[in-house]
Structure 1
Amino acid sequence: MCRIYGYFNSTASPNEMRGVGALQRHGGPDRTGRARSPGWGLGSNRLAIVDLDGGRQPYELDGRITVVFNGEIYNHDALRARLRRRGHTFADRCDGAIIPALYAEYGERFTDLLDGMYAVAVLDTRERPKLLLATDESGMKPLYYRWDPVERSLHFSSEIPALLGFDGIGRTVWGPGLDAYLASRTPFGEQTMFEEIKVLPPATTLRCTLGATPGTTRRQAAPAQVPSDPDKAAELVRESLRTEVGRLLVADVPVALITSGGLDSSLVTALAAEHGPVHSFNIAYRGGWPFDERHFAREAADHVGAVYHQVELDPATLPELIEDVVWHLGQPNADPITVSTYALFAAVRKAGFKVALTGDAADEVFGGYARMRAAFETASSGGDWYEPYLDSLAVLPADRRHTLYTDDYQRLVEDIPPIPAEALGRLRHGEGTVLERITDFELGHRMPAYHLRRVDHLSMAHSVEARLPFCQRGVTALGRALPDALRIHRRQVKRTLYGAAAGLVPDGVHRRAKQPFTLPVTAMLAPATPLWEFARDVLAASRLRPAGRLDPRAVDALFENQALRPDDTTALTIWALMTYEVWQDQFQGATKPVDAVAASA
């Protein structure tokens, strides 16, 4: 596991490259490596997980193929054996060491053979120089880039703050970004909150040849077949998960489990415990708060004999945590769980673990969200599912969202879809059933943007590698192949996954209603609390007026409503706006008045 960065058809001094690497060294503190030549440079920060003394990046082959790699390739032993039969030799047993030879043998299709999570950069100077950037099928390892069409140069990195460390990359805010953020809780698609910075989508290879405009190729998801019988389908999913969890436990460093108390993480914990003693981590909040799942997490851990670690977060520390979280994410994410995720992985690392398996992404893969069930049931009865589904993704519905904006900002965004139009078109009118289209949308857009980048950035902030069995391509292929009735049936979500977990997790966990793993922000955001005072200060009228996007009177009304009649939507809106303003403060120079944005549009 590493952090990677570099540039193509440009220049950067050794000091500039060191500075960029230092900005994401938390994700790879064990070794740094760089390679430079006229017109290009590649860098890596290594978090040593496999072959602790090896893994000296950048990897090279014949001085003409240079590679930096972030992630884990779980089938690297099989690929290494195949490549050895073709005459290749390797200096170590690190997974990334196989990539130069794999690329030399199979060209740009080398990614078809990789099974794991990754972001890869390949610099090929054998003919006309070119740079390839590639991401895994789920988007578990983000990769951000900036293309300059005038200079025809490209810069990239694993994290946004590091990318901004390159000279000349602007910090200008993407004008419609606030509306996109409030519509989906973080921008979907390739556009980030910075006008010049894009993020490479999942399952995508970007090709940049010297002097030419970059082009991208999107790989198709692997097909799978599942039995129509519910019991046989559940057995197939259980065995696939069992295999993946076993592979993901392999490391040369201690491995932990994240156990929230829900079905998904409890199932991963149970399957991991089949391989020997495990350590399980859960986070809760000091005091008496709603949604406390610690007793379910402990029950799941005790059921399989795991060593249980209870992490407690003091709500008084939330303001400080928010600032750290926003910096590491590089752009705002409206989910309050971000601070819990950050604090939890800090505790995992402090306890001596560098790898943690989680239950993330099961809901997207197997149909676990209430919004999926509501859309499925509404569509089945002939009702309008589309607008209510989109509203469920937002911080608050569109009609209420626009009441927060100034007149100038309202005019700026009124004709710009806050979610990419192409994605919305496929969601509303594409092939397949409504539930199949929602699943494709969740997996292709919401999960990588809103969910996986949070897990990646906030675990690597503490030098912890998060591994996600439910994102493994064999598991996601089974989830995609399930017919609607094997995902949602008679108001039960994740039908097949519940069947797969039967007998492996405690009955109390198996029978309990689904509960979101979140921070109880509605209860915590109350007058006179540290969080309330912090939010009031960040969202003061004097701080909102210069940007010209948010109407200070509308924001004040949110606080008045929350003080008198607390509700989840108002609390989340305050949290989201607070996070947005913290982001603007941290990346100073990013803000420019909305009239200036409109003038340049």
Structure 2
Amino acid sequence: MCGINGIFAYHYAANPIGEAELLRTRDRMAARGPDSANAWCSEDGRVGFGHRRLSIIDLSDGGLQPMANDDGSLRIVFNGEIYNYRALKAELTAKGHVFRTSSDTEVLLHLYAERGAAMVDALRGMFAFAIWDERRRQLFLARDPYGIKPLYYADDGWTFRFASQVKALIAGGAVSADLDPAGRVGFYLWGSVPEPFTIHESIRALPAGATLLVDRLGAGEPRRYHSVAEVYRAAEEASGRGVPPSAAGEAIREALLDSVRHHLVADVPVGLFLSAGIDSAALLGLMRDAGQDEIETVTLAFAEFRGRPEDEAPLAAEVARVYGARHTVRIVDRAEFEADLPHILDAMDQPTIDGINSWFVAKAARERGLKVALSGLGGDELFGGYPSFTDLPKWVRRAAVPARIPFLGRAVREVARRSGSIGRLGPKAAGALEYGGDYAGAYLLRRGLFMPWELDGLLAPEIVERGMRRLAPLALVRQALTPAPRTAYGRVATLESTLYMRNQLLRDTDWATMAHSLEVRTPLVDPVLLAAIAPYLAAAGRPAGKGDLAAAPRVPLPQGITGRAKTGFTTPIRNWMRQAAAAGAGASSARAERPWARDWALRVAAAPNAAPALVGVGGTDRAAA
């Protein structure tokens, strides 16, 4: 797990790359790789790579990057882990490839030499990497299917730059920091900046499951090699050919166990973020089933929640006892949060309304000496754990007919606005007829932080107009559903995986944990697992629930876990911020009563040129409304 960056001056008239810029970009990501730092520049000064290393696989100097093949014709910088690298290495060795190290990085070099761009189809893991091909004079970039690992780039028509963080590219000094109206509008709509946009107009995200080639003519268009929507579509077709439901439970268990085994591949201990939910509890049981003997688990707790349903510590401790884990309960208080807040804002790569819980649990894990931890992230998207799995199909059915009547929805909303009833109904209810008739609009209603017609109160009208035109939010959602799965379950699972999980949960987990030099792995976010169990999930035609996940460990989960109502992970940070505002800013009672998400959004809107700032902390009230 690392921080990577590079520069390619591809235009014949472009200035040679600057080593100082390369190092500034690299060292803005120091926390991502505290174990070593290296750089390489080509003899002609046209290409350079930077690397910060967090040693997980092959702890020796043999794993140092940038890494070259024997003759120097290929060179790589790589962020992530390839879980099937040993099998790939054996396959390549049988074909005559000779390896000098035991690293997964070297496997990528040999695999590229063997298969070229098609190498990505063989990889199982989380990854973002760049390979310089001297013979072809081209740069090849790739990102994993779910987008677990980030990769951003900027192309000014002369020189191409890439890095693991948006802020790192800006820190290099040659990339414009001008804010992107599409990124700003997207943030207010969703609570995070939707890919491929970023908060800066000059920087884009390489799409998940995509590769990119850059040659002397510049960057081509990203080529997608994996689509979550296609997997669900294919699974639905497979289920129509007679997937036996009786086989589902054992097949799902074996697929889950296989994913956990692969995610335990490391040369350092692998711990676990443990909550009182089924996802992480099942992972702990499966880690035991996979042969993991000594497991370190970490749970967050808050004094304000003691004795209340929000307190996850007692049940998490019970799960740890059942599976014999070494368990730590880490208590976070308001004083620590306020002390850490400047560091949180500095680490936060783009604006977001979440991620603070990941910051503190990663901090706790690092205090325990861990460099790697598993997370139960992805279970709700995979097994239909969100209310959206029932809400969206219901809304679409109810609004489908009236939504086809031209201008009816907009007229109803305008009447509600003029009569003042929007304040009573809420903006989402007012937009139900206008947006609820298809899955794209219904998803915006379900996950939206603010509605499009609210944006003029948050941003300047010209920013809203330009941002909405560039972002095209409904088209963005529809693109995620291409090709559209046929079942309601497949559509919602695709949307939650490729929008909410990718743009918010995975991204926030990355910046918040890498700030503590901790690698987080997500066994429930795995394309091989998805392909294996999607036919069984699709055969049900509805969210299967987490029964199969809960039943996967050989030793059953405690009844307190399986019988507990889903609450989501909550923190008292929202109240801490209100208290701090009231004490430090003399907040009026009206301000204190304003919904917290809007309060924070208005603060950011008042200072749009500040560093990307926190708008909410710990969850989204309105996003779940």
Deviation at 1:232, TM superposition (A): 2.5
With 101-110 and 404-413 compared, the bigger mean Cα shift is at: 404-413
- Distance change >3 Å, CA 190–CA 412, structure 1 → 2: closer
1:498 and 1:510 in contact (8 A); partners too: yes
- 1:485-496 aligned within 5 A: 486=540, 488=542, 493-494=545-546, 496=548
2:255 and 2:533 in contact (8 A); partners too: no
Deviation at 1:483, TM superposition (A): 4.3
1:345 and 1:458 in contact (8 A); partners too: yes
Deviation at 1:203, TM superposition (A): 0.7
Query: Which of the numbers 36, 39, 54 marks the counterpart of 2:46?
Result: 39
Query: Which of the numbers 133, 138, 143 marks the counterpart of 1:135?
Result: 143
Equivalent in the alignment of 2:205: 199
Deviation at 1:431, TM superposition (A): 4.7
- Matched to 2:40, the amino acid is A
Separation (CA, whole Å) in 2 of partners of 1:26 and 1:426? 32
Equivalent in the alignment of 1:259: 274
- Distance change >3 Å, CA 482–CA 183, structure 1 → 2: farther
Q: Secondary structure of 1:131's match?
A: strand
Deviation at 1:215, TM superposition (A): 2.3
1:265 and 1:359 in contact (8 A); partners too: yes
Query: Which of the numbers 496, 516, 530 marks the counterpart of 2:580?
Result: 530
- 1:384-423 aligned within 5 A: 384=436, 386=439, 387-413=441-467, 415=469, 417=471, 419=473, 421-423=475-477
- Matched to 1:174, the amino acid is D
1:341 and 1:459 in contact (8 A); partners too: yes
Separation (CA, whole Å) in 2 of partners of 1:349 and 1:51? 20
Name stretches of at least 5 consecutive residues in structure 2 with no aligned partner. 10-14, 401-435, 614-625
- Percentage of matched positions with identical amino acids: 29
Name stretches of at least 5 consecutive residues in structure 1 with no aligned partner. 538-555, 589-601
- Matched to 1:349, the amino acid is R
Deviation at 1:186, TM superposition (A): 0.7
Equivalent in the alignment of 1:597: none
Separation (CA, whole Å) in 2 of partners of 1:579 and 1:333? 11
Q: Confirm or deny that 1:571 pairs with 2:596.
A: yes
Q: Secondary structure of 1:396's match?
A: coil
Q: Secondary structure of 1:121's match?
A: strand
Equivalent in the alignment of 1:25: 30
- Distance change >3 Å, CA 141–CA 410, structure 1 → 2: closer
C-alpha distance after superposition, 1:186-224 (max 9, x if no partner):
111211011101011111001111123422110134666
C-alpha distance after superposition, 1:89-147 (max 9, x if no partner):
222101111111111110111111111111010111113x1101100111111001101
**TM-score (normalised: structure 2):** 0.82
Query: Which of the numbers 337, 342, 350 marks the counterpart of 1:331?
Result: 350
1:562 and 1:571 in contact (8 A); partners too: no
Equivalent in the alignment of 2:288: 273
1:188 and 1:419 in contact (8 A); partners too: no
- Matched to 1:106, the amino acid is R
C-alpha distance after superposition, 1:281-304 (max 9, x if no partner):
011223337622222211221221
Deviation at 1:500, TM superposition (A): 3.9
Separation (CA, whole Å) in 2 of partners of 1:258 and 1:363? 16
- Distance change >3 Å, CA 359–CA 164, structure 1 → 2: same
- Distance change >3 Å, CA 431–CA 364, structure 1 → 2: closer
- Matched to 2:348, the amino acid is L
Equivalent in the alignment of 1:168: 174
Q: Secondary structure of 2:285's match?
A: helix
Separation (CA, whole Å) in 2 of partners of 1:163 and 1:42? 13
Equivalent in the alignment of 1:57: 65
Deviation at 1:182, TM superposition (A): 1.6
Q: Confirm or deny that 1:80 pairs with 2:85.
A: no
C-alpha distance after superposition, 1:339-383 (max 9, x if no partner):
221111111111111000110111112221112221134446676
Equivalent in the alignment of 2:406: none
Deviation at 1:404, TM superposition (A): 3.5
- Distance change >3 Å, CA 324–CA 577, structure 1 → 2: farther
Equivalent in the alignment of 1:585: 610
2:458 and 2:601 in contact (8 A); partners too: no
Separation (CA, whole Å) in 2 of partners of 1:264 and 1:251? 22
Q: Secondary structure of 2:524's match?
A: helix
- Matched to 2:598, the amino acid is T
Separation (CA, whole Å) in 2 of partners of 1:411 and 1:91? 56
Q: Confirm or deny that 1:371 pairs with 2:379.
A: no
- Distance change >3 Å, CA 418–CA 507, structure 1 → 2: farther
- Matched to 2:340, the amino acid is L
Separation (CA, whole Å) in 1 of partners of 2:77 and 2:555? 43
C-alpha distance after superposition, 1:475-526 (max 9, x if no partner):
122454344564745xx74454345469632111111111111324554443
- Distance change >3 Å, CA 418–CA 340, structure 1 → 2: farther
Query: Which of the numbers 289, 293, 297 marks the counterpart of 2:316?
Result: 297
Equivalent in the alignment of 2:410: none
Separation (CA, whole Å) in 2 of partners of 1:126 and 1:254? 40
1:488 and 1:495 in contact (8 A); partners too: no
- 1:222-371 aligned within 5 A: 228-230=243-245, 232-274=247-289, 275=291, 276-288=293-305, 291-335=310-354, 338-371=355-388
Separation (CA, whole Å) in 1 of partners of 2:171 and 2:259? 37
Q: Secondary structure of 1:145's match?
A: strand
- Matched to 1:437, the amino acid is R
Equivalent in the alignment of 1:508: 560
Separation (CA, whole Å) in 2 of partners of 1:482 and 1:379? 25
Separation (CA, whole Å) in 1 of partners of 2:57 and 2:26? 21
Deviation at 1:442, TM superposition (A): 2.3
Say what the alpha-carbon RMSD is for the aligned residues: 2.8
- 1:172-187 aligned within 5 A: 172-187=178-193
2:143 and 2:210 in contact (8 A); partners too: yes
Separation (CA, whole Å) in 2 of partners of 1:350 and 1:66? 35
- Matched to 2:512, the amino acid is L
C-alpha distance after superposition, 1:437-486 (max 9, x if no partner):
22222222332211111111211111111111011221122454344564
2:88 and 2:107 in contact (8 A); partners too: yes
1:244 and 1:469 in contact (8 A); partners too: yes
2:273 and 2:374 in contact (8 A); partners too: yes
Deviation at 1:256, TM superposition (A): 0.9
- Matched to 2:55, the amino acid is A
Q: Secondary structure of 1:585's match?
A: coil
Q: Secondary structure of 1:469's match?
A: coil
- Distance change >3 Å, CA 410–CA 465, structure 1 → 2: closer
- Distance change >3 Å, CA 376–CA 235, structure 1 → 2: farther
Separation (CA, whole Å) in 1 of partners of 2:447 and 2:3? 30
1:184 and 1:394 in contact (8 A); partners too: yes
Separation (CA, whole Å) in 2 of partners of 1:577 and 1:324? 22
- Matched to 1:40, the amino acid is V
Deviation at 1:178, TM superposition (A): 2.7
Deviation at 1:257, TM superposition (A): 0.6
Separation (CA, whole Å) in 2 of partners of 1:12 and 1:466? 33
Equivalent in the alignment of 1:544: none
Deviation at 1:406, TM superposition (A): 4.6
